[in-house]
Structure 1
Amino acid sequence: MHAERYELVIPDGVEDGQDVVVVTRTDRSGPGGHPVYSDETGIVQAEISDQGEVRMLPSSSQQVPAQGVRARPLPD
């Protein structure tokens, strides 16, 4: 079961070595068939599996997706 919202914990950020971004489920599916989540700006996009595995999706041709991102489900 997928949550409607997640916190994405992105390593190597400015504060405490990580950034935290809240993403919300969209109506799209990613290349692995799992739901795609996006932040308010649409810049941060991720496919999150039902096992909590995160695949960052580039939102522009110049963006390099972060590696080692973790997802923490948020209450609805």
Structure 2
Amino acid sequence: MAHTERYELVFQMSGAADDVVTVRETDRTGAGGSPVYEDETGIVRAEISDRGEVRMLASGGHQVLGAPLLVRPLPEEGPGAL
């Protein structure tokens, strides 16, 4: 089954504008069997199901994981994209 290639994760920041992070599909799967996505730094990682369910994954020690307020699929990039 094909999965969305990219998502935006929107985190609510206290007293500031929302923080939006774009994550891309990796070749890994999480404990729930869904694809693992990460940002370009590899710090923000999440397992995202085809139903948009998100499980944030730690990428290092002492990391405090917050749940995104919103998860938005992004259109595909490349020659086949509309």
The whole-number CA distance in structure 1 between the counterparts of 2:14 and 2:40 is: 19
Structure 1: unaligned runs, 5 residues or longer: none
> Are 1:74 and 2:74 matched, yes or no?
yes
- The structure in which a higher percent of residues are strand is 1
Shift of 1:13: 5.6
Structure 2: unaligned runs, 5 residues or longer: 77-82
Contact 1:9–1:21 at 8 Å: present in 2 too? yes
Shift of 1:47: 0.4
| Identity within the alignment, % | 59
Q: Match of 1:12, as an amino acid?
A: M
- Give the TM-score taking structure 1 as reference length: 0.87
Contact 1:29–1:47 at 8 Å: present in 2 too? yes
Q: Which structure has the larger Rg over C-alpha atoms?
A: 2
Which residue does 1:11 correspond to in 2? Answer: 12
> Are 1:32 and 2:32 matched, yes or no?
yes
Q: Match of 1:63, as an amino acid?
A: Q
Shift of 1:15: 3.6
Shift of 1:49: 0.6
* Structure 1 stretches of at least 4 aligned residues deviating more than 4 Å after TM superposition: none
The whole-number CA distance in structure 1 between the counterparts of 2:69 and 2:34 is: 16
The whole-number CA distance in structure 2 between the counterparts of 1:13 and 1:49 is: 27
